[in-house]
């Protein structure tokens, strides 16, 4: 496996996808998969030709072993994944809307995630993880580190872990995807907004959606967002409907991609981050980065999977 060019730090999860659309209580069968924003991005980066590593922790259980084995099969470097003997691997169940009109059903094509991650192995990670030999070996060699706003929400120790990334990999580009998760900040929304703004302001590349921008900086106007976050060289604001406004220093672009038939939207933002970052690392300009992001995102939008991947033979996995 080639040396990783990007390290993606965050909780990787087992995903159980309801076998058929409709109310969750009527789903008897589930398809097992893997997910989590940072893992999805790592898989997408590999699909885009950028070797990547996953920094996380899993439980010493069957789910954790499957997650590591599957991520490795998809080309992600898992050499620094910590195995926690006392805590479980995080998991979420994906409910798929059937549009039946039943009180507990979702609209057709909609999805809802039910998280089972409290007290998980990854939530116990702290800054000391960055000093482990296997982690240092990766961080000392990568061009970029990718993290999201999910990780600092998991626990006080993962917040400190996220804050420590800049000093742990000072030569690497620090990419931050806001990924606001209301359930993780419930009852402490103001704290969450302040934390994410702090982390965004200290990053080199920032991605956020309109709703996230309103929460974090109080506006979804592109110029206002740029004024609120002047330090990151690269800033991407994702608009509803798929359009984006992107800044690279003083240069800006607004792009509206062609319409796509959406099977499911979960994971599309992670794929966009992967395609955008891959182009940046391969010295692409702003237009190439936006095109790369949209290309990977479209693959995820057309599937029920959370990530854009290739199998070991190089064939696209839908």
In 5-96, where does DSSP find H-type helix? 37-47, 62-73
Active site residue 220: no
How far from 234 is each of 83, 182, 204, CA to CA, in Å?
A: 35, 25, 6
How far apart (Å, rounded) are the C-alpha atoms in residues 127 and 108?
Answer: 42
Helix axis angle, 62-73 relative to 37-47, nearest 10°?
20
How far from 292 is each of 40, 79, 273, 282, CA to CA, in Å?
A: 16, 28, 9, 11
Residue 18: left (phi > 0), alpha (psi -120 to 50), or beta?
beta
Active-site choice (77, 270, 283, 306)? 270
Residue 218: left (phi > 0), alpha (psi -120 to 50), or beta?
left
Is residue 202 classed exposed, middle or buried when 0-12, 13-18 and 19+ CB atoms within 10 A define those classes?
Answer: middle
Please list the active-site residues: 270
């Amino acid at each position: 496996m080639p040396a990783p060019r990007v390290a993606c730090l965050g909780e990787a999860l087992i995903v159980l996808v309801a076998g058929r659309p409709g109310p969750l209580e009527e789903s008897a069968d589930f398809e097992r998969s893997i997910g989590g924003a940072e893992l999805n991005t790592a898989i997408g980066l590999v699909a885009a030709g950028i070797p990547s590593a996953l920094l996380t922790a899993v439980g010493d259980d069957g789910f954790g072993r499957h997650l590591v084995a599957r991520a490795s099969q998809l080309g992600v470097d898992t050499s620094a994944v910590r195995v926690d003997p006392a805590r479980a691997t995080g998991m979420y169940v994906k409910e798929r809307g059937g549009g039946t009109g039943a009180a507990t059903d979702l609209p057709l094509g909609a999805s809802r995630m039910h998280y089972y991650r409290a007290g998980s192995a990854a939530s116990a990670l702290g800054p000391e993880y960055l000093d482990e030999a296997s982690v240092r070996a990766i961080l000392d060699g990568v061009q970029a580190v990718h993290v999201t706003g999910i990780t600092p929400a998991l626990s006080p120790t993962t917040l400190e872990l996220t804050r420590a990334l800049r000093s742990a990999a000072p030569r690497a580009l620090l990419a931050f995807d806001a990924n606001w998760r209301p359930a993780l900040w419930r009852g402490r929304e103001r704290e969450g907004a302040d934390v994410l703004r702090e982390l965004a302001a200290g990053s080199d590349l920032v991605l956020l959606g309109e709703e996230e921008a309103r929460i974090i900086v109080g506006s979804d106007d592109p110029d206002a967002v740029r004024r609120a976050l002047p330090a990151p060289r690269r800033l991407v604001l994702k608009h509803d409907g798929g359009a984006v406004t992107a800044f690279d220093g003083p240069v800006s672009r607004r792009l509206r991609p062609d319409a796509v038939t959406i099977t499911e939207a979960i994971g599309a933002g992670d794929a966009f981050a992967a395609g955008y970052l891959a182009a940046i690392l391969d010295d692409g300009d702003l237009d190439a980065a936006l095109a790369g992001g949209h290309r990977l995102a479209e693959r995820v939008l057309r599937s029920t999977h959370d990530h854009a991947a290739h199998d070991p033979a190089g064939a696209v996995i839908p």
